[in-house]
Amino acid sequence: MPYSRALIFLGAFASVFGAANEALAHPHVFVVVKSDVVFDAQGKVSGIRHAWTFDEMYSAFATTGLTTDGSPASEAQLKPIAETNVGDLAEYSYFTVTKSPGQKVEFDKPVDIGMSEGPDKLVTLRFTLPLKQPVSAGKVLTLQVYDPSYFVSFDFAKSDAVKLVSAPPGCSLNVVQPKPLQETEAQKLSESYFSGLSPGSDFGIKLASRAIVACP
């Protein structure tokens, strides 16, 4: 298995596909996100469980050569790719931003890492981010999944995008969509525009949905 197959977030995907598409605008990779907000026995949020389904191009890239008869790749074949991808995402805080007023939200090392290929030939990466210290959603807790550079487009699924797992009675969930970009902003989304952004620019947040959790 070529090592570069697993490194989409660090530029290998761009080196394979980007050269032929330099004139095209960001993003280059598209991901549909489903996330679970997991609560512990004390009613606090203890982790975020992700399932990210990739677009056709990356899915084909990830599975090329893994099978010879056209059958879906097995989870065992895809597991090394999943573990490398998730491990490399630590530098980017797993593209996961969780906030709660007055509380520090930090993730521990990811667990339950795996990847599968569906009948539609799309691959789904799954992993869980435990919190180092569980936090209360008694005021409000927000969850966003996005790439600040917008190289990868993360979009919550159209249905069942976020679920509360083992939440106390009375907890509520609301997913807020981002405001559409103005026409003048959308016209800027070229490679030259993104290459000119200063380090630390957080363009991706403009297009990131927000899941809002509140508990009594």
pTM of the shown model: 0.83
Q: Which residues pair with 203 in a beta bridge?
A: none
Q: Which residues contact 22 (CB under 8 A, 6 or more apart)?
A: 191
Output 200 or 86, whichever has higher pLDDT.
Answer: 86
Q: Report how far apart, in Å, the C-alpha atoms of 67 and of each of 70, 118, 158 are.
A: 6, 14, 31
Which strands, in side-by-side order, build the sheet including 172-176? 96-99, 141-145, 210-214, 172-176
**At 55, is the pLDDT very low, low, confident or very high (cuts 50, 70, 90)?**
very high
Q: Which residues contact 209 (CB under 8 A, 6 or more apart)?
A: 144, 155, 156, 161, 175, 176, 177, 178
Query: What would the mean pLDDT of 49-65 be, rounded to a whole number?
Result: 91
Q: Using an 8 Å Cβ cutoff, are 129 and 110 in contact?
A: yes
pLDDT digits (tens, 9 = 90+) for 90-133: 888 999 999 999 999 999 999 999 999 999 999 999 999 999 99
Q: Which residues pair with 31 in a beta bridge?
A: 54, 154
Q: Using an 8 Å Cβ cutoff, are 38 and 108 in contact?
A: no
Radius of gyration for the chain, computed over Cα atoms and rounded to the nearest angstrom: 18
pLDDT, position 10: 41
Query: What would the mean pLDDT of 43-53 be, rounded to a whole number?
Result: 98
* Domain regions of the chain by residue span: 3-214
In this predicted structure, the answer to whether residue 173 has a pLDDT above a threshold of 50 is: yes
Tell me the torsion sign for CA atoms 106, 32, 121, 12.
negative
In this predicted structure, the answer to whether residue 12 has a pLDDT above a threshold of 70 is: no
Most distant CA atoms of the chain, gap in Å: 54
